Structure 1
Amino acid sequence: MEDVQKHQAAIAMPIDRVGVKGLKLPIIVRDRESGIQHTVAEVSLSVDLPAEFKGTHMSRFIEALEHWSGELDYNSFRSLLDDIVVRLQARSAHVRFVFPFFLRRNSPVSGANGLMDYTCRVDGMLKEGKLTFTLGADVPVMTVCPCSKAISNEGAHSQRAEVRIRTRFNGFVWLEDLIEIGERSGSCQVYSLLKREDEKYVTETAFANPTFVEDVVREAAKGLAEHEQIHWYKVEVESFESIHNHSAFAVIESASLA
């Protein structure tokens, strides 16, 4: 049958990335406590396209996923990218997995436990045989405004914030490491299940430790910089302000990619 995708392009212009996104796929990820965890990822796959070709072969992305092991680690991720490059005759390939990762958290006083979900992601690009691998986690925390506390006779405004961590590293890094660094950076961590005694603890702990968004991003960056395996990081904190009709945010990116 005629291969229309290999026809000459009407506009001879290279495309940086072309592919498929929004795919749902069951995957297996590493879990420090249980060994493995089953979850479902939203997947994006793409390749570069030279100027002379009209289109890429979209079905081959799905074929690559169908032949992939489904267990998400560095080696299997590399093999998926290698397969995409070969199947689509590409010079570079990019894959992204975004998935919920679950941890069971004990409430701070009652000990009641419930599942917390964290949005995690793995990004990878294979270009000229070199793999760039990025691991990330989005971590919710609670913050109390130091300025509001200082100027108010009663109370202070508080809100949830999200610590978005992206890392590159040598060796192996647990998702739990990134989540714990994020949770330590706010006024207090948040929980899925709180009894009254837990609510008292969380409120009083947060108000004893007020933090600007700038404080949170610096604390998270410090934790990432001190991690022995991490050689590059980017951390963004967004505070969903409770008394403003906007969010506040701050970003720190490390200088070295070596």
Structure 2
Amino acid sequence: MKDVQNMGDTRGIAIQRVGISKAWLPFLVAAEKRDSQNVTALIERFTVDLPMEYKGTHMSRFIEILHEYANKPLNFSAVDELLTEALDKLAAKSAHIAISFKYFVAKEAPVSAKESLLDIDCTFIGDKRENMPLEFTMEISVPVTSLCPCSKEISKYGAHNQRSTVKAAVKFSQENELTIEKLTTIIEGQASSSVYPILKREDEKYVTETAYENPKFVEDILRDLVLALRSLEKIDYFSIECENFESIHNHNAYAAHQEYRN
């Protein structure tokens, strides 16, 4: 049959990224304390470059590659292999992918030790150029608790607190790979308190008092997290966004920072 995609194009325009987006697939993600975790993954985008002389790319090959890797635990090396295969099968010079999913981190309540699972929004981003190392970025979004230092200082009793979200994107090499669990723990350690899906009364007392004794503005959480990530010497780049869902205002408090390490 006639292959229209392989026909020539005379407009002289090379396409930097072409491929698929918004595809859902079951995937495995490499886990810290077990081999892998089953997730439902959203392929935000999976693309390659297209030389100016070709009319189109082979869209079905993207899905074929994804199905091949859906049963392999997803981590730095798996993303590297996946994009290398895309370069080969699509005769490309560059390949890119972003995969988002919910990942569940095991939590233990601080007093009762009740076990539960905290859902973390994650995205793996890979950028690969021919004969070059993979550029890999892990993004996660972690819920935490913050308590206002000003409210505590000026009030006779109590202080307003709120649930907050910390989004962090970290770029690292395969030799210095971070796990989702480790980065989550680092983020939680900079908040007034962690968030737990299950709390008994003794746990609620502990969490409330812990937050009260550890008040932090959104700026405090951000700066403490910057220092914590700077201590990880092998990180090439990081960005942070902190957002407090204010309990006494009709707006949120927000802070952001990014650094290139090399």
Fold shared, TM-score > 0.5 on shorter chain:
yes
TM-score, normalisation: structure 2: 0.89
- Within the alignment, does 1:24 sit opposite 2:27 as a pair? no
Q: What whole-Å deviation, never above 9, does each CA across 1:161-214 have from its counterpart, x for those lacking one?
A: 111111122413222110001101111000000111211111111121111111
1:193 counterpart residue number: 198
**Structure 2 Cα separation of the partners of residues 9 and 242 of structure 1:** 58
Once the two structures are overlaid, the 10-residue window that deviates more, 203-212 or 127-136, is 127-136
1:122 counterpart residue number: 124
1:46-85 equivalences under 5 Å are 46-68=47-69, 69-85=71-87
**Structure 2 Cα separation of the partners of residues 150 and 8 of structure 1:** 71
Q: Say which of 195, 198, 222 aligns to 2:227.
A: 222
**Structure 2 Cα separation of the partners of residues 27 and 219 of structure 1:** 34
2:188 counterpart residue number: 183
Identity score, percent:
42
1:35 counterpart residue number: 35
Aligned-residue offset at 1:79: 1.5
**Structure 1 Cα separation of the partners of residues 90 and 237 of structure 2:** 31
**Structure 2 Cα separation of the partners of residues 133 and 159 of structure 1:** 33
Amino acid at match of 1:46: T
Once the two structures are overlaid, the 10-residue window that deviates more, 244-253 or 201-210, is 244-253
Amino acid at match of 2:251: H
Q: Say which of 89, 92, 99 aligns to 2:91.
A: 89
1:132-147 equivalences under 5 Å are 132-147=135-150
Q: Which runs of 5 or more residues in structure 2 are unaligned?
A: none
1:102 counterpart residue number: 104
Q: What whole-Å deviation, never above 9, does each CA across 1:3-42 have from its counterpart, x for those lacking one?
A: 3334455865443322212222222222222233222221
The residue matched to 1:230 in structure 2 has which SS? coil
Aligned-residue offset at 1:89: 2.1
2:159 counterpart residue number: 156
**Structure 1 Cα separation of the partners of residues 114 and 7 of structure 2:** 63
**Structure 1 residues 72 and 2 mapped into 2: Cα distance closer, same or farther (>3 Å)?**
same
Contact 2:236–2:260 (CA<8 Å) still a contact in 1? Answer: no
Q: Say which of 212, 215, 234 aligns to 1:210.
A: 215
**Structure 1 Cα separation of the partners of residues 231 and 109 of structure 2:** 27
The residue matched to 2:191 in structure 1 has which SS? coil
For the aligned residue pairs, the C-alpha RMSD in angstroms reads: 2.1
Aligned-residue offset at 1:238: 1.7
Contact 2:35–2:73 (CA<8 Å) still a contact in 1? Answer: no
Contact 2:36–2:73 (CA<8 Å) still a contact in 1? Answer: no
Contact 1:26–1:70 (CA<8 Å) still a contact in 2? Answer: no
Aligned-residue offset at 1:215: 0.8
Q: What whole-Å deviation, never above 9, does each CA across 1:237-256 have from its counterpart, x for those lacking one?
A: 12222233332222221232
Contact 2:168–2:239 (CA<8 Å) still a contact in 1? Answer: yes
Aligned-residue offset at 1:232: 2.3
Amino acid at match of 1:214: E
Amino acid at match of 1:37: Q
2:15 counterpart residue number: 15
